[in-house]
Chain A
Amino acid sequence: MNLDDFEQKLQRQTLRQIPAEWRAEILATAGRKSKAEGRKQEWFRPSSLVPRLSTILWPHPTAWAGLAAVWILILAVNLSIRDKSPGVAEKSTPPSPEVIVELKQQQRLLAELMGAHDTRDADRSRPSVPSPRSERAEILAA
């Protein structure tokens, strides 16, 4: 496409130059951020776990060793207590035949009661037909 005079005039206008001092600042900041990002990624890499742990533990090895010993002791005590104390299921003895008979009787009684309760409920749920006023008066008198 050929440019007309006006377009050529616009095109000839010289744009401002980028400030020279920006170069060093922008590149330095970008480099810094890039390094920080690299360090962050490095921190999460498993291969660097051992050196990082040693860096953390190295200044006070005795304190960390003591802490580890305490934890081992707690674990040992916990395991020994658990082994000696019998469970609730182990402790209970099987019920005697009398108890079983008694339980079955109670179960039967409960089933009967439940059956009676259901019948009453069925009666209650039936829609009540209002009785004549004279009958209600008799009921009240009784």
Chain B
Amino acid sequence: MRGPDLRRLYDEHAQPLFAFLLNLTRDEADTRDLLQEIFIKLARNPDLLAGVRDERAFLIRLAHNAAIDLMRRRGTRDKTREQFAAETFSLFASGADPDENTFRIALAEALGELPPEQRAVVHLKLWSGLTFEQIASALDIPPNTAASRYRYGLDKLRERLRPLYEEIK
């Protein structure tokens, strides 16, 4: 029984999974743990990807489930730690333009205020480039739900970031 090519899987999928998990957990150490957990699962179950048509969607589902489990485990117990992590973590790469950096920081904060289910859909639509059908398949929800979550999430971001967006446009 031949195991999956972990190196190839890592090179092809680790970066988008990292960004997705970081956006959901808002914590780099947790993101690393979850990413590690996913790759251990893949190594331990060589047949896990057998018959899977869309590896990316499958891995996103694994990552999403792992992140949801983690957030449930955390619960309200680690609220303080979560807030501290949200203040110190950065989701986006910083650039040379200070206005753009300010916008990125504000965007990361606004994303943090979204419910995780909306945040997941917004992330997958905007930064993973998935269609609503793909998002629905990855998160195991109907496509209409994916679309409405995206719309609600985007409206909240728009509202929250409008002043800054108008200013630097």
Q: Which of A14, A23, A25, A31 contacts B93 (CB 8 A)?
A: A14
Inter-subunit contact B93/A27 (CB<8 Å): no
Bits for B1-32, please: 1 = Cβ < 8 Å to A, else 0: 00100110010001100110010000000001
CB proximity of A51 to chain B, nearest CB, Å: 21
0 or 1 for each of A7-41: is its CB under 8 Å from B? (1 = yes)? 10111011111100011011101110110010000
Q: Is A6 an interface residue (CB 8 A)?
A: yes
Q: Is A14's CB under 8 angstroms from B92's CB?
A: yes
B-side binding surface: helix, strand, loop or mixed?
A: helix
Interface size class of B (residues with CB under 8 A): 20 to 34
* B86 at interface by CB-CB < 8 Å: no
| Listed residue (B93, B103, B126, B165) with the most chain A CB atoms within 10 angstroms of its CB | B126
B157 close to A10 (CB less than 8 A): yes
Q: Is the CB of A18 within 8 A of B18?
A: yes
Pair A33/B92 contact, Cβ less than 8 Å:
no
If over half of A's interface residues share one DSSP class (helix, strand or loop), that class is named, otherwise mixed; here it is helix
Establish whether residues B7 and A27, one from each chain, have CB atoms under 8 Å apart when the complex forms: yes
Judge whether B154 is part of the interface by a CB distance below 8 angstroms.
yes
Q: Are the CB atoms of A16 and B90 closer together than 8 Å?
A: yes
B67 within 8 A of A: no
B residues neighboring A (CB under 8 Å): 3, 6-7, 10, 14-15, 18-19, 22, 32, 35-36, 39-40, 42-44, 90-93, 95, 103-104, 107, 126-127, 154, 157-158, 161, 165, 169
List 30 A-B residue pairs with CB atoms under 8 Å apart, sorted by A's residue number. A6-B158, A6-B165, A7-B126, A9-B165, A10-B126, A10-B157, A11-B126, A13-B104, A15-B19, A16-B91, A17-B15, A18-B15, A22-B14, A22-B32, A23-B10, A23-B14, A26-B10, A26-B14, A26-B35, A26-B39, A27-B6, A27-B39, A29-B39, A29-B40, A30-B6, A30-B39, A33-B44, A34-B40, A37-B43, A37-B44
State the A residues within 8 Å of B (CB). Answer: 5-7, 9-11, 13-18, 22-23, 25-27, 29-31, 33-34, 37
